[in-house]
Structures are given as structure tokens and as C-alpha cells.
Structure 1
Amino acid sequence: MLNKRISLIALGMLSATQALADDQSQSKGFVEDSSLKVLLRNAYINRDYKDGRADKAEWGQAAIGTYSSGFTQGTVGVGVDAFGLYALRLDGGKGRTGAQGIDFFKKGDSGNAADDLSKGGAAVKFRLSSTTLTYGDQMPVLPVLNYDNSRLLPESYTGTLITSREIKGLELNAGRFTAESRKSAEGRDSGGLKSINVLGGSYQFTEQFKAALYASDVEDVLKKQYVNANYVFPIDKDQSLTLDFNGYRTKLDDSYVRESGATGDDNKIWSLAATFVTGPHSFTLAHQRSTGDSNLGYPYGGYQKDQGRVGDGGNTILLANSYWSDFNAEDERSWQLGYGLDFGTFGVPGLSYNVAYVRGDNITTSTSDGGTEREIFNQFKYVVQSGPAKDLSVKLRSSILRVSQKSSEYNVSGNEVRVFVDYPINVF
């Protein structure tokens, strides 16, 4: 009887162990699992501002090389990640470069943008079972610290990040970063970040339901919390309805409020999007709402404190109504109607089109309330499916943004065009 109980306990322990992941046991070696990739990117952004503001445009060619080793075999695996970045300015200048919003090439003390820039970084990584600790230069992708890769070169951060996937469906993250490298400037600490601590995780409860909860603390700037819930309702073979909720709560430090000239310190912003997919078509309806007493609305991004940037990455805005405008002003409410089309069904695989109309109202500034803004967003994207240029992508994007006079303190009207050509090369 005792032996039977021991056998049952051992079987239970074995079953539990098998439910846990162990990526390190599958390691093939430092060299055997390594990869070297190069992304060639040609990018152009043009902003035709209204209301008297000078137009801005930047054009450049970039080469983004990333190396990732495998892990050495054994109980604790060791590896290395590294990247090298180079960008060449292709436009003629004439006062249109060095735009804060475009930010391909930062202006120097002379007031002119650099002709080119280069930088690199590296990190060492350790893996035990399915938990990895990485120290060094990284490009984190977390809801509260999300590096910006939507310009010519990407941002990067220096610090420590622990990622654990020991239980199937569960990912936990904890990290501390102490330097921020601006995407438009050389140097490891060109962003002016003191430190940011991040903690959180996501869990795939069922095949249809996933949720996430994260928090961050940017030293002397703010504390931020994030929540997400995503549920997919399967309807038919090629039909589904997805509900996606995202929300941030931000509390500015008193010292930052004084230094930046902000008024108020609290913001809450959330969005709920419903997307119905039927065959090649997708239809989106979304609502987003910002509340709180901070005139900065929802603060995120890096570098300029006087423009509400806080040092947590240019993509740290996982909200439905974020296009050219983020519709994140104080007290703003916004609604979106969106449509997407996959041309693969019509004999053109790799080609897609997206259009969205977003309208925001109830905007509060220091001089008025009840302001409005509206944006029409269009994007074509084509990815080459085969041949020597396989995976090369061309993205054409445009936005028409109109902001009421009452909201001019928050945003400015304009027309924007973006053209991105990305060609990824797998060296090995």
C-alpha cells in the first residue's frame, strides 16, 4: 500500500514536471543555434503641416545587423546577442530634417542634422531551464517598455531583463534598465534615462482568452500600470470576432511635474476594440477614452521632457486609436471605424490594405475645452512571397489629420506620407 502511494506521488510529480518547459535541455550549442541577420531599410517620412508650421521631411538608408548566438549546453546555458546599426541621410536638408516627430537624424549643436550615424551594442545571456537572464544592450518589447522600430533606426536600452516561460502559456518578465539610446543619435545613453524598473506577465488561459498585467517605475518621472484582456470568439471556419481591451494608469512624480511644467499628475486611458473577420475582410470598431488631471494626457516615449516624453520607449502605447495622432489628450474620447483587406484571396498573396477613420472630441487644454481632432489613415503593404527578393516588404502609408483651433495647443493639422522598404537577409 505504501509503495502504491509512493508510486502515485512520483507519477504526479513527473506529470507536473512534464507540464513545465525546459528549453535549455534542447540546446544544440553556442554556434549551432546562432543566427546573423541584416535588415536593409529605406525610409521616407514627409509631414505637410497646416496652420503655418514649417513642413518636415526625412529620407535615409539604414543597415541593421543582428547576431544571436545559441546557448552552450549544460544545466546553465550561456550566449551572446549583438547588433550594429548604420544610417545614411539621403535628403538634401534645407531645414526640413531633424524633425522631433520624425527623428531619423538628431540635430547637433550647429542646428544641422548629421549626414550619417552608426552605433552598436551587445548583451550576454544565461538560461536555466526556460528562464533567461540577459544583461547589456537590448530592444525590449513589453507593454510598459517598448522600443521604437517605426523610424529609420531602432531604439535600444541597456540593463537587465529576466524572462521566464517555465509554465506553458505563462510568460513572466522583470527588468531594470539604466540607459536609453535614441534612435537618431549615436551613443549608449543619448536618451537621458536615469532608470526604469519593469515587472509583469501574460497568460494564455485558453486557446481563445489571453490576459496581461504589467507595471513600471521610471526614476524621478512616473509610475505606470498596464492591463490587457483579449478574447477571440470563433464563429465559422473563416469567421471570428476579437475583443481587445488595453488600459494604462500613469502617476507622474512631483519633481517631474515641476520640471516639465505639467499641470496635474494623473492619467487613465483605455481602449476597447472589436474586430470581425470574415474571409479576407476585417471590420474594426473601437472606442478610446482618456481621463485624469494631467495636461500631458497619456505620457510615453523618450527624450523631450517639455513635450511629455518620459523614457519608456516610442512604441509604449498599445491602444486601438494610435496612428499618426495617438488620441491621448487630456479628457479625450475617440471612436474608430476600420477596414482591412487581404488580397491573397484575389490572387495577390502578400498584398494587404488597411483604412481607418478616427474622431476624437472633448479635448481639454490650458486655454479651452471641447476640442476635436480627426484622422483618415490608409496603408498598403506588400511582402514578396518567393524568389531572390523573398520577404522584401514595401509599405505605403498616409494620414490626413485635422485638429480644431481649440485643440491647437495639443496637436497640429497636417498630411503625412510614409514609405518604407525593408529587405531582410538571413546570412545564417
Structure 2
Amino acid sequence: MSLSRKSLLALAISAATAAPLALASQAESQGFIEDSHLSFLARNMYWHHDYHTYKNSPQWDADRREWGQGLRLDYTSGYTQGTVGFGVDASAYGLIKLDGGRGHAGTAGVLVPDGEGASDTAGSVGANVKMRISNTELKYGNNLRPYNPVFAAADARLVPGTATGLWLTSNEFSKANFEAAHLTAAKDFNSTNSDDDFWAAYAGVSTDTVDFIGGNFTITDNLTASLYGSEYTDIWRQYYGNLNYTFPISDDQKLNFDFNIYQTDDDGKKKAGKIDTTAYSLAAAYTLGAHTFKLTYQEIDGDQPFDYLGLGPGTFHDSIYLANSSQLVDFNGPNEKSYGAFYNLDFASYGIPGLSFGIRYIKGTDIDGSKLAGSGSAYAGLYAGADGEEHWERDVDIKYVVQSGPAKNLATRVRWATHRISGAAGWDGDADQVRVILEYPYEIF
């Protein structure tokens, strides 16, 4: 049975006919206009990625720099009153090139490429129509932004990635929520075209259809679980599970354990070749007041890497909920094992609310792509020469959010990452990256 349409239809019927747990959400609707909201977001981003490994390669721009301004206007209507409510969502996105890095425009994925670098300005619009019964909502349009372990459109550039299709969410039960989608087109964060394909990011192959279904469950006050499944037509079927447990020690101390696992198998025409990969991670975190210390372990069990969503060729989104996925690399090579140490500090306890600091170090070992050579796999070009490769990444993250006054909610963030590798497995190589992000959200009404 296909995961896609039949599963989606089953969930839709189940949610829509769920016992009369009250028409709580829809019954409280004040109206299409009365419950509407309009918000504005200005995001300024400077991105500098220095690929040391490729400094002497005439066919590779090793010094990638872009600086731009993103503008976003989001309108969300309320719902018409009655048993079934109707509404619309609409967004307008704008990008302005501030600097292409002295000839490096169009190389970092921040701005919109135009064939000769990056466009000076670019814009797009998107909209959804929506329907709500009780606490179940169905949206159709080209401005969908699902965010879950198997399909997470990133909002890590000037504007977010979006998708076209049907997206159902249901919150009929107090300790469980569900969602499902049938998606038929994409718009990347550096594109104005809403008719692009979905991509397997590392494989570099595409599909025009993605389906997913899943949900989150509260088992006890301290224990939660998630289960998801997805189908990237003719590329893979992917299944995800999560368990998250928090053990409170005292008012300002706690332990948290987070386990994530994916199983990915090839599907249909096998555009990326054979895939049979199990990827999992375990994180243990100890919080003491303002301080959080975390240790992580991650393993890829399979002769192919763990792969996930792209919304365009060469871009990577957020559908990787593994503990060691980092700013530059994901530690997801074939048969790779990785170990991480994290530290985070919230300065609110020291009289500076809004300021936070984080640092992490991750080391990956045993990357083995030897079984990819000659296999016809789409991953062979990235990993076929890897045999026992090792690499590490160090990330530093500093963020401050203004807490009051005219500039309230203005956020400034600096992200600095360093990656070094023993060989050349994957496209990563030795690299340094700096991102400087200024963001100002404003609620108009």
C-alpha cells in the first residue's frame, strides 16, 4: 500500500470524524477578520565560507561570500465562524543584495542567483487556503512550511523554503498531535520559483512528489515520543522514531536523554541507487542553573550516507534530527561514528537576559565508502575514496536579543564554525565559516 495518498486520506477521515472532543478551537473562532494577524520580519545576513581544501582549484570558488537583506510579510487570517471554518494565509518575500563579496555573488546560497552572480533584488509571494474542523486543520497552497524530522523546510537564510501541496495537522487529543502531507513542488530559500523539485541533498537527484505522516506523543510528564514516515518518490522511504526523557533533580538541575533513529530504504526507480541505512544518535544533557553540558554519540549503519531534504540542487534543509548534525557537516558518512561535547550558557542568571553562548566539538571516525565504487550509487562521487577517514568540527554561537525599549526583540547572532578532515571524503574538506545575522520581528496587528 502506498504510504502517500491512502495514509493521508485515512488520517484525514480519522481526524475529521474524531469523537466530539468539543469543537474547541473552531467553536471559539471570532471571525475571518477579527482573528487575523499581520507580522513583519527583517533579516540581515552576512555569510563567509572559506574552503581551504579547494584554494588552488580553478574550477571551484573556494572563497564564498554574500551579504543580503531579507524582508518578509506574513498575513494569517482567522476562520469564519461555524462548524467548519475557512481562511487564508499569505506571505510576501523580498531579498536585496548588499554585497556579493567582490565577485563572489551567487556562491553561498544566500542570494538569488541570476546566471552571472546574484540578483540585486528578488521577490516572491505565496498563499494557502485553509479549512478547520474542531482542532483539525487542512491547508492547500504554495506557501506551506512543514517542520518535522522527515520534512523540515529551513528558515536559516534570508527567507524560508516553502512547499506546494496539501498539509493536514490535527490536535484533537491532549497528549498527541498528528500531521500528514502530500507535496508536489518546492521553493528554495534562494529561489523565487515555486515549481521546483524536491531533492535528496547529498545524492543530487530529485523528485516531484513527497508524502509524509507522523505525530508526537506525551507518554508521561517527563517522557515524549515521535514517529514519522515519509516517501520521496523513486528515491527513498524513510522512517523516524524519537524518545526524549527528562529527569528532574532539583529546581535548577535536570538530566535529559534524547534518542533519535532513522531507517532509509530505496524506493521505486531508485534514482540515488541502492539505499539501506540506519542512522541513530543518543544525547545526554545535564543542566545546572544557567549551564548545560551535553555528550552525544551518533552512528551511521550502512554503506550509503544518511541523506535528507534539499529544495534545490546543492542546498540542505533541516530534516536531520541527529545529535551531531552541525553548522558545516552532518557526520553522516557511510558507516561513520561520531562523538560530541556541547556547552551552553544562559546569561540571564548573571543579570544579562537575552544573551546566550554555545560551543560544541564533534569528532567523526571510520568513514568507509569503499563499497560505493563501481556500484552506480549517486553517492560514489562523494565517498567512494573514503577508507577510515576522520574529521572534526568546532562551532561557536553567540546571540543577544534586546529585551525592552524601541528595539525590543531585535536579535544579533554570530555563528563561527571550523571543519578539518584527514582526507577528502564528501565535498566538505577543510573549511571555516562565519555567519552574522541581525533579525527584527514586528507584530503589526
TM-score, normalization: structure 1?
A: 0.89
Deviations 1:71-124 (Å, cap 9, x if unpaired)? 11110011111111000011145442222xx3112433x342222210010001
Other-structure match for 1:198: 212
Larger radius of gyration: 1
CA contact under 8 A between 2:151 and 2:309: conserved in structure 1?
no
**Which residue of structure 1 aligns with residue 261 of structure 2?**
247
Report 1:3-82 matches (<5 A). 22-53=24-55, 54-82=62-90
| Cα distance, 1:252 vs structure 2 | 2.6
Following superposition, the deviation at residue 321 of structure 1 comes to: 0.8
Stretches of structure 1 lacking an aligned partner (at least 5 in a row): 1-15
Greater shift after overlay, 216-225 or 418-427?
A: 216-225
Alignment pair present for 1:116 and 2:118: no
Partner Cα distance (1:37, 1:266) in 2: 44
Q: 1:41 offset after TM fit, Å?
A: 0.2
- Determine the C-alpha separation between the residues in 1 that align with 2:258 and 2:22: 28
Take 1:390 and 1:343, find their aligned partners in 2: how far apart are those partners? 17
One-letter code aligned to 2:43: R
Give 1:420's aligned residue. Answer: 437
SS where residue 42 of structure 2 aligns?
Answer: strand
Matches within 5 A, 1:401-412: 401-405=419-423, 407-412=424-429
3-state DSSP of counterpart to 1:348: coil
The CA deviation at 1:32 is 1.3
Question: How far apart, CA to CA, are the structure 2 residues paired with 1:93 and 1:399?
Answer: 19
Root mean square deviation of aligned Cα: 1.8
Relative to structure 1, the CA distance from residue 335 to residue 20 in structure 2 (aligned partners, 3 Å threshold; closer, same or farther) is: farther
Q: Which residue of 2 aligns with 1:396?
A: 414
CA contact (8 A) 1:19 1:168 kept: no
- Distance across 1 between alignment mates of 2:365 and 2:68: 36
- Between the aligned partners of 1:62 and 1:387, the Cα distance in structure 2 is 23
Report the secondary structure of 1:51's partner residue: helix
Query: Could you tell which deviates more after superposition, 110-119 or 143-152?
Result: 110-119
In the alignment, is the contact (CA less than 8 A) between 2:161 and 2:311 conserved in 1?
Answer: no
In 2, Cα distance between equivalents of 1:74 and 1:20: 13
Identify the residue that residue 293 of structure 1 maps to in structure 2: 303
Kindly, what percent of the aligned residue pairs are identical?
37
Per-residue deviation at 1:382? 0.5
- In 2 relative to 1, CA 299–132 (structure 1 residues): closer, same or farther, beyond 3 Å? closer
- The runs of at least 4 consecutive aligned structure 1 residues that moved more than 4 Å come to 16-21
User: Structure 1 19/346 Cα, relative in aligned 2: closer, same or farther at 3 Å?
Assistant: same
The yes-or-no answer on 1:368 pairing with 2:386 is yes
- Asked whether the 8 Å contact 2:154–2:318 carries over to 1, the reply is yes
| 1:315 correspondence with 2:329 | no
Structure 2 counterparts to residues 216-365 of structure 1, below 5 A: 216-253=230-267, 255-257=269-271, 260=272, 264-294=274-304, 296-304=305-313, 314-323=317-326, 324-364=328-368, 365=383
Match of 1:11 in 2: none
Count of matched residue positions in the alignment of Structure 1 and Structure 2? 398
Q: Partners of 1:367 and 1:17 in 2: how far apart?
A: 57
- 1:303 CA displacement: 2.0
Unaligned runs of 5+ in 2: 1-17, 56-61, 199-206, 369-382
Check 1:190–1:139 CA distance in 2 against 1; reply closer, same or farther (3 A cut).
same
TM-score normalized with structure 2 length: 0.86
> What's 2:7 paired with?
none
1:163 to 169, 175, 194: 169
Q: Distance in 1 between matches of 2:268 and 2:232?
A: 13
SS state at 2:281 partner: strand
